[in-house]
Amino acid sequence: RKEVEQDPGPFNVPEGATVAFNCTYSNSASQSFFWYRQDCRKEPKLLMSVYSSGNEDGRFTAQLNRASQYISLLIRDSKLSDSATYLCVVKGGNNDMRFGAGTRLTVKP
Amino acid sequence: EAQVTQNPRYLITVTGKKLTVTCSQNMNHEYMSWYRQDPGLGLRQIYYSMNVEVTDKGDVPEGYKVSRKEKRNFPLILESPSPNQTSLYFCASSKTGMPSYEQYFGPGTRLTVT
């Protein structure tokens, strides 16, 4: 079983839709959690860190559920520019980083 | 401009010919890391470094070496490359203080070993 698992998608949604991604992790000692976006084999870019209390940045909301060991990302009012692959990242107790394989999102006009 | 640079961006080499991929950051970050990305497998961590002279193995360290003699540089060395090391490689850096471990990535190095 992979340490960090994501639904690979693809998710194809119309502009304006709300879409949610989930990510599960297996190491209960994991300390920090992040969402990155990656465009077409370019470098990943930080979208947001995920805090225990949940956090929001504009149209993006991230949640952490430590008891069930999953994190989520909600995108509201999807834009064409949101089309990308979304990567879930978990920092372990040894400061190592584990990436999910990514969820591909395509937003269509 | 805050950035992580990698060189070369593209490299085609032959089996067994030693190579080094350089990585440099200008943000005074403590944490630096190397990843490889392969289709269907996502990014996997090769090595990481918490600070100068401190390096640790990641998920897939076999066949790679690193060093951290200066804070800004973290080169990746392939002593004897093999075709299974053909991949897209990313270097990244981050602070360890707040906001911690939010990584900045270099543009990537596409390596082909024939």
Which pLDDT band, with edges at 50, 70 and 90, does B114 fall under?
very high
To the nearest whole Å, the CA of B27 is away from the closest chain A CA by: 16
A43–B43 C-beta distance less than 8 A: no
Using a CB-CB distance cutoff of 8 angstroms, which residues of chain A are in contact with residue B38? none
Taking CA atoms, B61 is separated from B1, B5, B13, B95, in Å, by: 31, 21, 20, 23
How does residue B40 score in pLDDT terms, banded at 50, 70 and 90? Answer: confident
Q: Which residues pair with A107 in a beta bridge?
A: A13
Determine whether the interchain pair B43/A99 forms a contact, defined as Cβ–Cβ distance below 8 Å.
yes
Of A49, A100, A101, the CB nearest to B99: A49
Q: What is the pLDDT of residue B3?
A: 95
Structure tokens that stand for B61 in this block: 């360290």
Amino acid at A15: E
Task: State mean pLDDT over A30-53.
Answer: 93
A101: which chain B residues are within 8 Å (Cβ-Cβ)?
A: 40-42
Question: Is residue A52 predicted with pLDDT exceeding 90?
Answer: no
Question: Nearest residue on chain A to B91, judged by CA atoms?
Answer: A43
pLDDT > 70: what percent of chain B?
Answer: 100
Please answer yes or no on whether A100 and B42 come within 8 Å at the CB atom.
yes
Residue position matching structure tokens 């190397």: B34
Name which of A4, A45, A47, A99 to mutate to probe chain B: the one with the most chain B Cβ atoms within 10 A of its Cβ: A99
